[in-house]
């Protein structure tokens, strides 16, 4: 159904965005996927999380990272989902998340680049 489209997207890193999986989740509707990915890009995912950590509000940080994990999973944003899972576990275990936050920022940057290729 969408195989031809996938061949037209050059340079998509499936470790970050699994377009095939995302399309399967939404019945192959590429226009819908583009809209959802565009909405994701428009969101502020890092600043509120950093603010929660700075304020020592682990409950808010946990809520925010859980939300990011869910959205990332639903949109097949693989690396973001994986790092979000790690941060969520670290928060629960009371560990420092600063290194993982750097990893999250990098994953978000690469994911955004891939999304831009998809959405045009």
pLDDT higher than threshold 70 for residue 2: no
pLDDT digits over 59-93, tens only? 999 999 999 999 999 999 999 999 999 999 999 99
Supply the pLDDT for residue 9.
57
Contact 32, 24 (CB under 8 A): no
What DSSP assignment string belongs to 82-118? HHHHHHHHHHHHT---HHHHHHHHHHHHHHHHHHHHH
pLDDT digits over 14-41, tens only? 789 999 999 999 999 999 999 999 999 9
The CATH number given to whatever domain includes residue 114 is: 1.20.120.160
CA distance 108 to 72: 10
Q: Which domain holds residue 11?
A: 3-119
Sign of the CA dihedral 70, 106, 116, 79? negative
Collect all residues with Cβ–Cβ distance below 8 Å to 98 and sequence separation of at least 6.
Answer: none
Structural domains in the chain (count): 1
Alpha helices in 43-97 (DSSP H): 47-54, 58-74, 78-93
Tokens 């790092």 belong to residue:
83
CA distance 120 to 114: 10
pLDDT higher than threshold 60 for residue 3: no
pLDDT higher than threshold 60 for residue 116: yes
């Amino acid at each position: 159904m969408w195989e031809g489209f996938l061949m037209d997207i050059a340079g998509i890193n499936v470790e970050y965005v699994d377009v095939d999986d995302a399309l399967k989740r939404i019945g192959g509707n590429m226009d819908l996927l583009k809209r959802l990915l565009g909405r994701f890009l428009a969101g502020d995912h890092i600043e509120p999380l950093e603010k929660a950590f700075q304020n020592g509000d682990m409950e808010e940080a946990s809520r925010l990272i859980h939300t990011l994990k869910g959205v990332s999973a639903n949109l097949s944003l693989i690396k973001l989902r994986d790092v979000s899972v790690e941060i969520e576990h670290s928060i629960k275990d009371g560990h420092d998340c600063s290194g993982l936050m750097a990893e999250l920022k990098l994953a978000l940057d690469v994911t955004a680049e891939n999304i831009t290729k998809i959405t045009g």
